[in-house]
Amino acid sequence: MNKAPHSQSFAWANSCRLGLVPSLFIIVQFQFLFFPSAIDAAQPPITSITFSPDGNSVFAASQAGVAIYDWPGLTQQGKLELNFANIHDIQFSPDAQRLAIAGGDPGETGIVNVLNWQSRDTISLIRQHNDTVYSIAWMNDNQRIVSVSLDRQVLLYDHSSERTVQEFSGHSKGVTAVCLLADDSVLITAGVDQSLRVWELSTSKMIRTLNNHTAPVHDLQLRPNQDGLPMVASVSDDRTLRFWQPTIGRMVRFVKLDSIPLAIAWHPEKPIVAATTSSGIISIIDAETAEVLKQIKTDQQWLYALAVSPDGKWIVVQGANGLRRYRFSTE
């Protein structure tokens, strides 16, 4: 299928970012897209952003490590140094005692480094994947973690023993996103094979495949604090944001955006989602109507991560000189 020039460039850059295309020409395209100026070259793309459990800090991961910013000032206060260059996800455990940092070395090892949140000491260093880990999800017991990787594996392991306890096989290409339902009964994954897959945790069996996307899926997020059937949102290279009810296998609605959506985050209380895009626009979308309620122009392009403040008032993304916040409103 023919794509618009900007979509082709993104596909080249994304392939290089995923470690799939070693061509020198592709690498040059990647550098051009991500580093158009000396300022951008000094700041590698931020791949994951999250708030600390107490809401007083913001963590931002990139190839430069994990930077820690105060909130709401967004002044950098510190940095976590790691032994692997590619970091793609950072997640606090439900009890707020541990911080898991996922990434690894492309084509070699996928790593999940679990730290004690207070002391910053490493508790476990899990090396169960053969390629970069792209996304992780904690289970409610604060011990087990699900990880997905470009090696096509979906693994569940006990981080204390650093041993795999379950495997979920079915994706034909790299897996880039994962989320768990609130009761840990169902697992949803998505990836380069353009599909969402729904798994039963108790048996490791795949319940169904959702294949409406027509290009690789970048992100997948569960709607929080929801009554009724669970809902997840996904975004893809096909420029769509889709809303699903995974327990019944239904795509509820979708919206096609003007540029490629790269990451999504839900408002903590309202049926509204924010999506960052390759053009630097943050789109605010109503999950009940698929209407684009508002678009926010940022000072950056290729926004690969965002976070919403615990009170739902602010969206945090990469800025020209660190992190920047924008009001999460529909006005």
pLDDT at position 209 is 98
SS3 for 179? strand
Lookup result for tokens 């140094």: 81
Tell me if 213 sits within 8 A of 197, measured CB to CB. no
Report the C-alpha gap between 70 and 75 in whole angstroms: 6
Is the peptide bond between 53 and the residue preceding it cis, with omega within 30 degrees of 0?
A: no
Report the C-alpha gap between 285 and 296 in whole angstroms: 12
Lookup result for tokens 């913001």: 58
Report the C-alpha gap between 243 and 230 in whole angstroms: 10
pTM score: 0.87
Report the C-alpha gap between 256 and 230 in whole angstroms: 22
Report the C-alpha gap between 10 and 152 in whole angstroms: 22
Q: Which residues of the chain have pLDDT under 70?
A: 1-42
What are the extents of the domains in the chain? 1-34
